[in-house]
């Protein structure tokens, strides 16, 4: 049974209240580094990405530098990450596309971002919201699991359905805060196995609604 919009918003706002200062856990200093870090984070922990990126960014600080590197050179810096060979291939192609199509700069629109090799909707949404402050809501494994566990969406919902539901429930200015808080909530409380959400009764207190 999916919660009503009002109850679903209460759950999401309580999660935000639990982690009001949640910040992106990937390390980056510019839009290019953010894009690369988010691409690398697929099926890999942010902590593992943060161990790999200092060397990678030092070797290839710009799209220009990365575009002229070989795939094996790029791969050597990220070999501890999942799917690293594929990611190296995508990074090289993406860097070349940034030079060819966007004057070496990371674009800001979802359509342009998704035109880049290795960039899907989730990565585009993170870059838009975290990098450029453009309202967008990214759905990762934590977000999808939490929304299903707490009946914000049906159990069979696709990531796009989760995204649209949350965007319908919350105002745009809360989308980024919700995304960041849900990542922390998913790591600390709403685990894939043995979630501890019952320890937080405020999540389920709808008496004020």
Residue spans per domain, the chain:
5-22+137-203, 31-132
Contacting residues for 208 by C-beta, under 8 A, at least 6 apart: none
pTM: 0.93
CATH number of 5-22+137-203: 1.10.1670.10
Q: Does domain 31-132 have CATH number 3.40.50.10880?
A: no
Query: What pLDDT, in 10s, does the model give residues 194-207?
Result: 999 999 999 989 99
Which are the catalytic amino acids? Answer: 122, 140
pLDDT of residue 43: 87
Token pair for residue 170? 């919350």
Backbone angles phi, psi at 61, to 5 degrees: -75, -15
* Cβ pair 14, 85 in contact under 8 A: no
Structure tokens that stand for 172 in this block: 């745009």
Residue 209 has a pLDDT of 86
Regions of the chain where pLDDT drops below 70: none
Distance CA 146, CA 131 (A): 24
d(CA 96, CA 137): 27
Fold equal for 5-22+137-203 and 31-132? no
């Amino acid at each position: 049974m999916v919660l009503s919009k009002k109850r679903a918003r209460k759950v999401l706002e309580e999660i935000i209240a639990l982690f009001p200062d949640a910040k992106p856990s990937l390390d980056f200093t510019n839009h290019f580094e953010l894009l690369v870090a988010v691409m690398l984070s697929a099926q890999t922990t942010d902590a593992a990405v943060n161990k790999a990126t200092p060397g990678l960014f030092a070797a290839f600080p710009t799209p220009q530098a990365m575009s002229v590197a070989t795939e094996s050179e790029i791969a050597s810096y990220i070999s501890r990450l999942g799917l690293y060979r594929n990611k190296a291939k995508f990074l090289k192609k993406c860097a070349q596309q940034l030079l060819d199509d966007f004057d070496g700069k990371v674009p800001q629109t979802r359509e342009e971002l998704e035109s880049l090799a290795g960039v899907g909707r989730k990565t585009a949404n993170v870059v838009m919201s975290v990098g450029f402050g453009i309202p967008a809501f990214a759905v990762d494994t934590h977000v999808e699991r939490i929304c299903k566990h707490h009946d914000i969406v049906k159990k069979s919902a696709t990531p796009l359905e989760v995204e649209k539901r949350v965007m319908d429930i919350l105002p745009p200015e809360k989308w980024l805060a919700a995304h960041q808080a849900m990542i922390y909530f998913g790591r600390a409380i709403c685990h894939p196995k043995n979630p501890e959400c019952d320890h937080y009764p405020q999540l389920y207190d709808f008496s004020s609604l």
